[in-house]
Structure 1
Amino acid sequence: MSINAKVPEPLVSVIIPTYNRPEYLKQAITSAVQQTYQNIEIIVSDNCSPENLQTLVESFADPRIKFWRHPENVGMLNNQMNAFKMAQGKYVASLHDDDMWNQDFLAKILPPLEANPNLILAFCDQYIIDAQSQINHAATEENSRSYQRDQIASGIHRNFQKIGLVDKSIPTAAACVIRNGLINWDSISSEVGGMWDLYLTYLCCISGYSVYYYPEKLTYYREHEQTDTMLSGRRNIQAKIRKAKSEIFCYKIFMEDMRLHEFHSHFRKLWLEAHTTLGIGLMLDQQSTAARSYFWQALQEQKFNLRTLTALTLSFTPQILTKKLLGVA
């Protein structure tokens, strides 16, 4: 080997799980294909969309793209994990089918990981865009403040439990590159559900490795009517129920992990709030008896909570009146 021979760039697996959003998917794939860092494989995992997306994917005529279509809908989490398990790269990065990356996202995020084998991941800040792909500058700044990314020092963070699990600063689903081979994807069980990204952060927190923060905004997170965040509010009762069940499962694990002991009270508070949220969802789904068990448990675990007490009281009122009081169609 020549002394001047260039060391080959490591392969990065770009994971794009998708379901029934062809126009957004096209933009997401485009942002991956156009990365200035070229040694990538792009794994598009289709969760059995009504419209077969193979033609769209093939239109890119890029041999780096691998397309997988499930013969039946396996759920959001299984589709995501299936794509992670297919990854052959030294690094993996999740790109949702409605989000996008700057052209230099990978080129800027990878060097710290390559320079330091003790890093499990590197992450950056992100822009918030709307359904038309326009940057919402006010929402972008609010997002950075809400997740404390405007306060994080650039560089390596050895103990990042607060950053990752309390402030939730690490966008593992949208603006993060992870060293492959350190996470057992099978350890992310079905109960984790839509909280998979926070649970993945948890696994990274307890890994013994460090993380790197690159403070520039290098990705675009899309807020629109069909995101899980939007659906888990009042407009979709089943999404609300699923989200609350996932929160109860995850926060219980965090509470019981002695490595996170200093944040126990924080996770316990969120765990109790999720009980009330689940109870409200079940109540709106005409499962008042089941709902009350979650309200009672939440009340027994804390001295007083007006939201929980009000919800418990409403569970004894007629369904149509309950929905009117809660403003649910």
Structure 2
Amino acid sequence: MLNDNQLSEPLVSVIIPTYNRPEYLKHAIASAVKQTYQNIEIIISDNCSAENPLPIVESFADPRIRFWRHPQNIGMIANQMHGFKIARGKYVASLHDDDMWNADFLAKLVPPLEANPDLILAFCDQYIIDAKGNINYPATEENTRGFKRHKLAPGVYQSFTKIGLIDKSIPTAAACVIRASLVDWNKIPAEVGGMWDLYLTYLCSISGYGAYYSPERLTRYRVHEQTDTILSGSHDAQAKIRKAKSELFCYQTLMSDPKLQEFKSYFHHKWLEANTTLGIGLIRNKQKDAARPYLWQALSQQKLNLRTLAALALTFIL
């Protein structure tokens, strides 16, 4: 039971989409249940996993958990959005089924949002862990620096377009709490795919509201063989194709937005890179004719790019 002080705290909806990761899911749920910030609902949305995770969910015997199992696989983005759309909290936070939160994650990020109604989100830094849950300290530091969070001072950023969309410092999908009433979840289309977090950052950044940053590492992002970023960077052609199509849609949207014209050249460059990536993915999937137009597109709108040129040449050789 929650005490009076906890009941006076605003409800936070923790969204855990899951698919075929029962062992990792246990740890994700446990990290949500153990939050020192107690007034939460935990929404677990199962995308028709081969093994029904209901027994895992029931083992926690926590009345704050709401479980939903789709009768068929509806796709990653639809499963994720389902959780957001049925959330009842003043704030929402996404927790991947293979990640974990420190016990004070919500306790550290909700108060700044409560103290300042002009903020739409609060985010933090994160640890990188391996498949067994061990912290990889070199990878953690590389992650912090790669997303330029080491350069961010703690506190409020009234404008965070560059931080969110160029530096990609805001881990919206894994280490962020969002004011739910300021986001129209129906405005995140299926075409964004695995780039839904960047698209959500985009919607937040053009809202006119600010962001709060805590440099503490309050979450643990797991890197393992099923991690999407690893799959899309490997020889998995389908993963590469999915990622590239998502990037094409997102960067086309960003470079077309009049509010973001300051960064249009950057988004155009990323869009061209996505054309090349999609072309390479299609070649690996033995669809060289389908690949050729994307590679021509990329080659015709930029200076000579050897990666694109080599891929295009392969479509005539293979």
Name the TM tier (shorter chain).
over 0.9
CA distance in 2, matches of 1:20, 1:5: 38
Aligned position for 1:17: 17
Q: In structure 2, how many angstroms separate the alpha carbons of the residues matched to 1:68 and 1:234?
A: 32
Distance 1:283 1:204, change over 3 A: same
Change (3 A) 1:71 1:6: closer
Partner residue in 2 for 1:49: 49
1:104 — aligned with what?
104
CA distance in 2, matches of 1:24, 1:296: 42
CA distance in 2: counterparts of 1:192 and 1:185, whole angstroms: 13
Per the alignment, residue 257 of structure 1 pairs with 257
Q: Show structure 1 runs of 4+ deviating over 3 A.
A: 4-7
Structure 2 counterpart of 1:276, one-letter code: T
Are residue 136 (structure 1) and residue 136 (structure 2) matched?
A: yes
Counterpart residue identity of residue 285, structure 1:
N
Report deviation, 1:305: 1.1
CA distance in 2, matches of 1:305, 1:235: 21
User: Root-mean-square deviation (CA), in Å?
Assistant: 1.2
Q: Distance in 2 between matches of 1:306 and 1:129?
A: 35
Aligned partners of 2:6 and 2:256: how far apart in 1? Answer: 48
What corresponds to 2:28 in structure 1?
Answer: 28
Q: Distance in 1 between matches of 2:86 and 2:235?
A: 34
- In structure 2, the gaps of 5 or more residues are none
State how far apart, in whole Å, the 1-side matches of 2:80 and 2:115 are: 28
Q: 1:286 to 1:36 in 2, by over 3 A?
A: same
Q: Which amino acid aligns with 1:52?
A: N
Task: Give the TM-score taking structure 2 as reference length.
Answer: 0.97
Letter in 1 for 2:180: N
In structure 2, what residue type is equivalent to 1:252? Q
Shift of 1:5: 8.6
CA distance in 2, matches of 1:307, 1:55: 49
Corresponding residue SS for 1:315: helix
Aligned residue type for 1:68:
W
8 Å contact kept, 2:6–2:38: no
CA distance in 2, matches of 1:302, 1:163: 26
Matched residue, 1:154: 154
What residue number does 2:180 align with?
180
Partner of 1:304: 304
Deviations 1:242-293 (A, max 9, x none): 1000001000111111211111111111100000000011111111111000
Partner-residue secondary structure (3-state), 2:42:
strand
1:149-228 matches, within 5 Å, as: 149-228=149-228
Can you list the C-alpha shifts for 1:58-105, whole angstroms capped at 9, x where unaligned?
010000000000000000000000000010000000000000000001
Q: Do 2:126 and 2:219's aligned partners in 1 also have CA atoms closer than 8 Å?
A: yes
Greater shift in the superposed pair: 233-242 or 45-54: 233-242
Q: CA deviation at 1:56?
A: 0.7
- State the match for 1:325 in structure 2: none
Partner SS, residue 120 of structure 1 = strand
One-letter code aligned to 2:95: L
Q: Which has the larger radius of gyration?
A: 1
Contact 2:13–2:87 (CA<8 Å) still a contact in 1?
yes
- Deviations, residues 174-224 of structure 1 (Å, cap 9, x unaligned): 000000111111111111000000000000000010000011000000000
C-alpha distance in structure 2 between counterparts of 1:7 and 1:64, whole Å: 13
Q: How many residues align?
A: 315
| Structure 1 letter corresponding to 2:224 | H
| Residue equivalent to 1:120 | 120
In structure 2, the residue matched to 1:85 is: 85
